Amino acid sequence: MTLRTDTDRAHMARAIDLAQRGLGTVSPNPVVGAVIVRDGEVLGEGWHAEWGGPHAEVNAIADAGQPDGGLRGATMYVTLEPCCHTGKTGPCTDAIVASGVSRVVVGSDDPTEKASGRGLGILRDEGIDVEVADGELAARARLLNQAFRKHSRTGRPWVLFKSAMTLDGKVATRTGDSKWISSEDSRAIAHRWRAQVDAVAVGVGTALADDPQLTARILDVPRQPRRVVFDSTARLPLDSQLVRAAPDPPLTVVVSRAASRAATEALEMAGAEIIVATGQNE
C-alpha cells in the first residue's frame, strides 16, 4: 500500500534513519526504528539500541511519556512488523495495544516464522488501522535488515566480499611493498561495514602478508567484530596482531585435521578459539 501523504513518507523516512543507529549493536536481532505522531506533532521516537534491550516500539512509547491508553489518535511509524512473541522482551503488539495508538504504518514484513504477518493480524483484531508501505520506502526498510532476512529464510549468513584492485587487475605491487590500493574514502566505507557485521574473515595468506588487525578503527564503535582466519595448518604466528589482541576482540582460527596439536593448543592458550573443519572440502 502506498503511504497516504508526504507526511507519512517523511515520518517513515525518519524511522528508517533511527533504525540505522542500531547497526552493529543488536545482532542477531533486526534493526528497527519507530516514530509516534499525533495531529502533526512528533510525540516520541525510538530504536532498538542493543540486543536483549527494549525494542523500538517500546522505546518510542516510553519517549512519548503518555500513560497507558494516552496515545489514542496517534500513528506509529515502524520500520518492521511489530513482534508478537515473548523472547528477551515481551511482545511489542501488547505494548502498542496498551498504548492506545490508533494507526500503525509498517515499513516491511517480519520474515521469521514467529511473526510473518501475525503481528499485523493481532493489531488489526484489536481495531488498530494497519498499513504496510510499498515502493521506495518499503525497499529501504527491507534493506536495513538484509542479513536478518537472509538468515531467517535460509539459515545462512549474509556475506559481504571486499576486494581492492587497480584498473589493470593488480592487487599489490610485484615486490609486495604496497600497503593500500584503495582510497581513504573506500577504507572508511570498509571500516563502517566492519562496525556493522558480526565477523570479518580472511585467509591465512592475507594474515601472513599484511599482519592485519581486522578491527573497525575509523569510527567510535561500541563493539568490535569477531576476527576469523581460515588457516588449514595453523600457521598464524603467535606474535601477529590478531593473536596478540585476542580474546578482545575475539579471534577464531578455522583449521583442518592436518593442523598440528601443538600449534592449535598454542593458539588456544593465546586466547584464540579453534574450529576444526571436517568434510570433503576441508
CATH number, domain with residue 16 = 3.40.140.10
Same domain for 138 and 19? Answer: yes
Domain final residue pick, 154, 175, 199: 154
217, pLDDT greater than 90? no
Q: What is the full DSSP assignment across the chain?
A: ---SSHHHHHHHHHHHHHHGGGTTTSTTSPP-EEEEEETTEEEEEEE--STTS--HHHHHHHHHTPPTTTTBT-EEEESSPPP-S-SSS--HHHHHHHHTB-EEEESS---STT-TTHHHHHHHHTT-EEEE--HHHHHHHHHTTHHHHHHHHHS-----------TTS-SS-TTS-----S-HHHHHHHHHHHHHSSEEEEEHHHHHHH-------SS--SSPPEEEEE-TT----TTSHHHHHTTSS-EEEEE-TTS-HHHHHHHHHTT-EEEE--STT-
Q: Quick check: 77 and 34 in contact, CB under 8 A?
A: yes
Tell me the pTM: 0.84
Percent of the chain residues topping a pLDDT of 90: 64
pLDDT mean over 13-35? 94
Domain count across the chain: 2
In a domain, 167, yes or no: no
Which amino acid is located at 65 in the chain? G
Radius of gyration of the chain (CA): 23
Q: Is residue 207 part of a domain?
A: yes
- The one-letter code for the residue type at 117 is G
Cis bond before residue 250 (omega within 30° of 0): no
Q: Are residues 75 and 130 in the same domain?
A: yes
Whether the per-residue pLDDT at 112 is higher than 70: the answer is yes
Domain that holds residue 203: 184-276
- Identify whether residues 30 and 77 lie together within a single domain: yes
- Judged by average pLDDT, the poorest of 132-141, 162-171, 271-280 is 162-171
Instruction: Judge whether 42 lies within some domain.
Output: yes
**Do 18 and 67 fall into the same domain?**
yes
Whether residue 80 is contained in a domain is answered as yes
pLDDT surpasses 70 at 176 = no
End-to-end CA separation in angstroms for the chain: 48
Task: Verify that 73 and 113 share a domain, yes or no.
Answer: yes
> Of 41, 50, 57, 268, which residue is the catalytic one?
57
| Same domain, yes or no: 119 and 238 | no
Q: Is the pLDDT of residue 254 over 90?
A: yes
Residue 135 resides in a domain = yes
252 plus 118 within the same structural domain:
no
Is-contact 223 196, C-beta < 8 A? no
Secondary structure letter of residue 21 according to DSSP: G
**Does residue 177 register a pLDDT over 70?**
no
Q: Is 131 annotated in the active site?
A: no
Question: Residue 90, Cα to own-chain centre: how many angstroms?
Answer: 21
Indicate whether 15 and 74 sit together in one domain. yes
**Would residue 166 count as lying in a domain?**
no
Q: Are residues 148 and 196 in the same domain?
A: no
Q: What is the pLDDT of residue 48?
A: 96
Can you tell me the mean pLDDT for 230-258? 96
Q: What pLDDT does 167 receive?
A: 83
